[in-house]
Amino acid sequence: MRPGRKSAIAILVLLFAILFAESYLRMFGSRLFGDRGRSYVHRPWRIRVAQGVPFRTNGWGLRGEDFTPRALRIVAFGGSATESSDLPEEATWPGRVEHHLNDRFGARLGQVANAGSAGLASPHYVAQVEELARLIGLDVAILYTGLNDTDRLARHGRILRVGRLGDPSYREAMFQAFIAPDPARLAAMGDSILDRSYLVLFLRAFTEKSLVQPLRNRLEDLIPGRRLRDKRARLRASPSLGAVLARARADYGNNLSLMLAAARAAGTTPIFMAAPPIDAEPELVALNAALADFCRERGALFIDLASEAPPPGGWYIYGTHHFTREASDRVGARIAAVIAGLLEGDRAAGRELRRRGRERGLTPARRDDVRWPSG
């Protein structure tokens, strides 16, 4: 075959590949990417059944109803313990926050949407708060953080540290944080022409989310010694545990700082919450201590469930870090009381929240007959 003909065939093949990719992206790109201007934690406007429980999402891909114009917009961030796919929506702890908050004031003052998704950790909440607070106009972000960072610590020996918003580590966290990230937002962060190419973004998303991650996780669950519980046992028995935990605390503090900065830059009031450990888990104890120190130093709102007495049946469903119904109600009441205190009082931490409420004509008229669960 003549060299000229070979070159012509190669060019035609390349053009066909580009045309095919472009057509595929136009027809099916929403399966891997969100719409321009939106990133989705879950598929929007879906109703599915997870573990026998209906799971409904709103137009932002968050569990719950869509936001109404006047109510305060509150979003709960976390992993599977926040997602609570084993509980109906009204029984999850974000659902109980909404119930108790509105019951206290005798009106629909706030709406609580659930951004929880299994496996997400502190670097992913950085991306979620940065993207969603800016786009949705969040009034309150509840950050239940630390649990899945301990899993990443056991699997990889460290947690993912986000260097700064928009850098490669942030783009990696954003790819993982959203089932369908905003392609225009990702392309705008690119450092090179390739980084800005939708085709490259598509190939990366498809490879990571559809092939690499599912295969790696499945293989690790099947191979003895590679399972998460085996890795966690080796970490706890390692003589370098102290050094690993010290580095994890520093990386975790960095991610917390970025979450706080993203929330405050968007005018969102952040509330951090620490998880109760099971049998004094050293990784979670260390991260909870880092969170407590961080909130004290930065003046951030902090709910330390680890220091509170558990409900009579305990915090968790056996063998998991998922709250029981009773614990979910306790946590929901606890968070609602903090938000109500900001709205009713004169604390500096609630100044922005009160201002936003006044702009929407929300004047909380407290119901004195409401009694909070003890604890």
> CA-CA distance, 28 to 308, in Å (whole number)?
48
The DSSP bridge partners found for residue 56 are 47
The string of pLDDT tens digits covering residues 245-260 is 999 999 999 999 999 9
Confidence of residue 10 (pLDDT cuts 50, 70, 90): low
What's the average model confidence in pLDDT over 152-176? Answer: 89
Confidence of residue 99 (pLDDT cuts 50, 70, 90): very high
Q: For all residues of the chain together, what is the average pLDDT?
A: 87
The string of pLDDT tens digits covering residues 299-320 is 999 999 999 999 999 999 988 9
**DSSP strand pairing (53-56 vs 47-50):** antiparallel
- Which of 6-10, 65-69, 345-349 ranks highest by mean pLDDT? 65-69
Whether the pLDDT of residue 217 is over 80: the answer is: no
Helix (H) or strand (E) holding 55: strand 53-56
This prediction's pTM: 0.88
What's the average model confidence in pLDDT over 366-373? Answer: 51
What's the average model confidence in pLDDT over 107-136? Answer: 94
Alpha-carbon separation of residue 55 from 65, 86, 99, 128, 142 (angstroms): 11, 9, 18, 20, 20
> CA-CA distance, 104 to 369, in Å (whole number)?
8
The string of pLDDT tens digits covering residues 224-248 is 767 888 889 999 999 999 999 999 9
Give SS3 for 222: helix
Between residues 315 and 30, the one the model is more confident about? 315
> CA-CA distance, 16 to 83, in Å (whole number)?
42
Confidence of residue 375 (pLDDT cuts 50, 70, 90): very low
Both tokens of 200, joined, read 């490259």
Confidence of residue 25 (pLDDT cuts 50, 70, 90): low
Q: Which of 29-38, 94-103, 149-158, 182-191 has the lowest mean pLDDT?
A: 29-38
- In the chain, the percentage of residues whose pLDDT exceeds 90 is 57
Nearest CA-CA partner of 321 in 274, 270, 367, 254: 274
Identify the burial level of 14 via C-beta atoms within 10 angstroms of its C-beta, where 0-12 means exposed, 13-18 middle and 19 or more buried.
exposed
- Which of 162-166, 214-218, 330-334 ranks highest by mean pLDDT? 330-334
Confidence of residue 66 (pLDDT cuts 50, 70, 90): very high
Alpha-carbon separation of residue 287 from 176, 253, 272, 291, 319 (angstroms): 21, 9, 12, 6, 21
Both tokens of 238, joined, read 């390692």
**DSSP strand pairing (110-114 vs 140-144):** unpaired
CB-CB contact of 59 with 45 (8 Å): yes
CB-CB neighbours of 118 under 10 Å: 13
